[in-house]
């Protein structure tokens, strides 16, 4: 197995959408479609067998919904990254997916190039939140701490880069520190913000105005 190949599992109950994703992913040799599931229940079985790098997860599914499936994947398979790909960008859906542990949110209306970029980004440890989804999150409010957490200057710098979608290695290079140091800063940031993932940390930080909103989200 080529360790550099991104192994993708698609979870969607619409065959037409799965066909479209199959065609898009098939054009890129660094990405391999290893399985498809029309339900969350089947997806959980396949994850145990196929060990995907990235799971492309719809939200509205027959039986178990995509948010609950994401929660279980995040709990039982923390190395797998979930990218929610859905037609719904309501605050309730976006927030639910991110709180469940998704690495990002992408609209089904997004062009193929954007899907490929998003798959590569989350596989590398980054986050992907479309401007419209982030706008809904900000408009919907968030559980902002009553007192702003006391982040160090370096922690704020790390948060700024996380908000730009950079993964740990890129953050380390940008700041001239080791990847292990970035991981320690992230752990401290999560603890201070009371969150469990970098995606939640980015949303929380932007909502609480701890970092600046990226230019393409304004």
pLDDT value for 213: 56
Are 14 and 109 members of one domain? Answer: yes
pLDDT surpassing 60 at residue 147: no
What would the mean pLDDT of 126-137 be, rounded to a whole number?
A: 73
What would the mean pLDDT of 149-167 be, rounded to a whole number?
A: 86
Instruction: Please provide the DSSP assignment of 79-113 as one string.
Output: TSEEEEEES---HHHHHHHHHHT-SEEEETTS-HH
pLDDT surpassing 50 at residue 217: no
- Average predicted confidence (pLDDT) for the chain: 85
Are 29 and 134 members of one domain? Answer: yes
**Looking at 93, 123, 139, which one is the last position of a domain?**
139
Q: What CATH number has the domain bearing residue 157?
A: 1.10.10.10
Q: Binning pLDDT at 50, 70 and 90, where does residue 139 land?
A: low
pLDDT surpassing 90 at residue 52: yes
Q: Binning pLDDT at 50, 70 and 90, where does residue 165 land?
A: confident
What are the Cα distances from residue 161, in Å, to 8, 194, 206? 26, 19, 12
Are 20 and 121 members of one domain? Answer: yes
Q: What CATH number has the domain bearing residue 73?
A: 3.40.50.2300
| Strands of 6-11's sheet in order across | 31-37, 6-11, 54-57, 81-86, 104-107, 128-129
pLDDT surpassing 80 at residue 149: no
What would the mean pLDDT of 185-191 be, rounded to a whole number?
A: 91
Are 162 and 124 members of one domain? Answer: no
**Looking at 122, 139, 156, which one is the last position of a domain?**
139
**Looking at 119, 139, 159, which one is the last position of a domain?**
139
pLDDT surpassing 60 at residue 70: yes
Residues 97-112 pLDDT 10s: 888 889 888 989 889 9
What would the mean pLDDT of 5-26 be, rounded to a whole number?
A: 96
Are 98 and 35 members of one domain? Answer: yes
pLDDT value for 67: 94
Are 104 and 175 members of one domain? Answer: no
pLDDT surpassing 60 at residue 185: yes
Count of CB atoms situated within 10 Å of the CB of 35: 18
User: Cα–chain-centroid distance for residue 151?
Assistant: 23
pLDDT value for 100: 87
φ/ψ of 37, rounded to 5, equals -140, 135
Structure tokens, 164 = 């730009």
What would the mean pLDDT of 69-90 be, rounded to a whole number?
A: 90
Residue 1 lies in a domain: no
pLDDT value for 138: 62
Nearest to 123 by CA among 167, 162, 160, 175: 167
Residue 70 belongs to domain spanning: 6-139
Residue 176 lies in a domain: yes
Q: Domain tally for the chain?
A: 2
Are 177 and 70 members of one domain? Answer: no
């Amino acid at each position: 197995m080529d360790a550099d190949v991104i192994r993708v599992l698609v979870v969607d109950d619409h065959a037409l959408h799965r066909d479209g994703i199959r065609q898009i992913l098939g054009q890129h040799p660094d990405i391999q479609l290893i399985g498809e599931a029309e339900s969350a229940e089947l997806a959980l079985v396949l994850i145990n067998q196929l060990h995907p790098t990235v799971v492309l997860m719809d939200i509205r599914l027959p039986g178990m919904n995509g948010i609950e499936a994401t929660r279980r994947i995040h709990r039982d398979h923390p190395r797998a990254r979930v990218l929610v790909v859905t037609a719904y960008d309501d605050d309730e859906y976006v927030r639910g997916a991110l709180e469940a542990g998704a690495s990002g949110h992408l609209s089904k209306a997004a062009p193929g190039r954007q899907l490929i970029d998003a798959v590569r980004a989350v596989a590398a440890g980054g986050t992907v939140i479309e401007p419209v989804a982030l706008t809904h999150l900000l408009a919907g409010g968030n559980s902002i701490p009553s007192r702003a957490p006391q982040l160090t200057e370096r922690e704020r710098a790390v948060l700024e880069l996380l908000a730009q979608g950079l993964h740990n290695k890129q953050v380390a290079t940008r700041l001239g520190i080791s990847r292990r140091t970035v991981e320690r800063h992230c752990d401290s940031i999560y603890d201070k913000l009371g969150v469990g993932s970098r995606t939640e940390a980015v949303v929380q930080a932007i909502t609480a105005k701890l970092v600046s909103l990226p230019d393409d989200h304004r």
